[in-house]
Structure 1
Amino acid sequence: MFQRLVEDCVGSCELVTPHLLAAPFYRGSFGTLIIPTGFANKDYSRVLPALRATKSRMERFIRSGGQIIVFGGGGAVPDCYDWLPFTVRYHFHYGPQPLIIRREGQSTILFEGYDLDAFECDGYFTDYEGDAVAVTQDGHPVLIDEAVGSGRVVLTTAHEYPSRAFLATFCSCRRENFF
């Protein structure tokens, strides 16, 4: 269903399986990568080992102008973001959270049309040294937007689909980069 939403908002997209992603010979060309909710939950997904296997390629992709949006890991794996080019950890805690937008920006469009007084999240981030875009009322980061080289990483624990406006904006890349 998520792939259909993305295609409806931005046109065609390519589903890359974990085995293909981790294959050393795979050289896709993308502007944006979307890592779905639950990528670290081994009961539902085999994406985390593939992401870890591609750490250096992922960093090169981002630094050269690629964009990624990464949703919540969806399980009790605090270091499930260790394949990113900066430090962030994750705490799984599913449920509706009142959100506070700390700084407006392109990534806050992700929440468009949702009730920020009870937004479904599957946890929050810890050990992040930057300035989070959105936090829970307890101050836990749930949306991070980090520039890395010429690229961008958006991390969110949103357990809702991102808004159509966000997908249309974020996924309309200026150029593609080799992965």
Structure 2
Amino acid sequence: MTDVMLLWDNPLLFEKLFEENGLKCQRILSAALGTPFLPACKCVIVPTGFANSAYTKILPGIERNGKAFEKFVSAGGVLVVFGALVTTYDHKWLPMELTYTEKHGETHLHRVGEHEAQCIVADPGMVVECDGYFSSTDGDVILNNDDGQAVMVVKKVGEGMIIATTVHEFPSPDFLGCVMDNARRSKL
């Protein structure tokens, strides 16, 4: 039974993180989105660089399948989307407003309100890498960078949730636990 589907077209070091935390991870191609062949899972992750053709070719499949993502999240799944790694990117395939702006640098993470997903890094006081920020959103901003720009946004959609972040670090075990605790197995 799959816990996490990692949307990418070649092996990633990221996959080892899930194994180390006792989660069953399956890497899938974007061409498989919306087909009846994918098993149900709790979480779908779109890694950093998904919109940059120098890293991957998954973007066309993602952009064609916005309804599949909305259905997955509405039924209780959690969709985690990392930075696009292009100058600017409008996430038109998401059931929310979200615009990314690329800006690499080190920053502290500043909490906005309280949310379980703020545990994306193990030590909240450490300086982290971010690859950009969200210049516009209709989601709830839960983390800002040192310049007051949104680097983590959440939006409840139906029974599930979308988490978008530009934090360019492997997520903490607590974050993975939070995602699993808040997700319900759903078909993509």
Q: TM-score, normalised on structure 1?
A: 0.90
Q: Contact 1:132/1:141 (CA < 8 Å) preserved in 2?
A: yes
Q: Distance in 1 between matches of 2:187 and 2:94?
A: 17
TM-superposed CA distance for 1:174, in Å, is 5.2
SS at structure 1 position matched to 2:33: helix
For 1:160, the equivalent position in structure 2 comes to 169
Does 2:76 align with 1:38? no
Does 2:87 align with 1:85? no
Farther off after superposition, 36-45 or 12-21: 12-21
Amino acid at match of 1:88: L
User: Size of the alignment, in residue pairs?
Assistant: 176
RCO higher in 1 or 2 (8 Å CA, sep ≥ 6)? 1
Q: Distance in 2 between matches of 1:173 and 1:14?
A: 19
SS at structure 2 position matched to 1:134: strand
Q: Distance in 1 between matches of 2:121 and 2:22?
A: 18
For 2:33, the equivalent position in structure 1 comes to 21
Which structure has more strand as a fraction of its residues? 2
Q: 1:42 to 1:67 in 2, by over 3 A?
A: same
Q: Give the unaligned 5+ runs of structure 1.
A: none
Q: Deviations over 1:98-124 (max 9, x none)?
A: 3211122210111222544x2200000
Work out the percentage of aligned pairs sharing the same amino acid: 30
Does 2:131 align with 1:108? no
SS at structure 2 position matched to 1:3: helix
Q: Distance in 2 between matches of 1:152 and 1:48?
A: 21
Q: Give the unaligned 5+ runs of structure 2.
A: 1-12
Aligned pairs (5 A) from 1:1-179:
1-21=13-33, 24-79=35-90, 81-113=91-123, 115-116=125-126, 118-172=127-181, 175-179=184-188
Amino acid at match of 1:49: P
Stretches of 4+ moved more than 6 A in 1?
none
Q: Contact 1:31/1:66 (CA < 8 Å) preserved in 2?
A: yes
Q: 1:26 to 1:52 in 2, by over 3 A?
A: farther
Q: TM-score, normalised on structure 2?
A: 0.86
Q: Distance in 1 between matches of 2:116 and 2:97?
A: 22
TM-superposed CA distance for 1:127, in Å, is 1.5
TM-superposed CA distance for 1:41, in Å, is 0.7
Q: 1:174 to 1:39 in 2, by over 3 A?
A: closer
Q: 1:128 to 1:26 in 2, by over 3 A?
A: same
* Alpha-carbon RMSD: 1.8
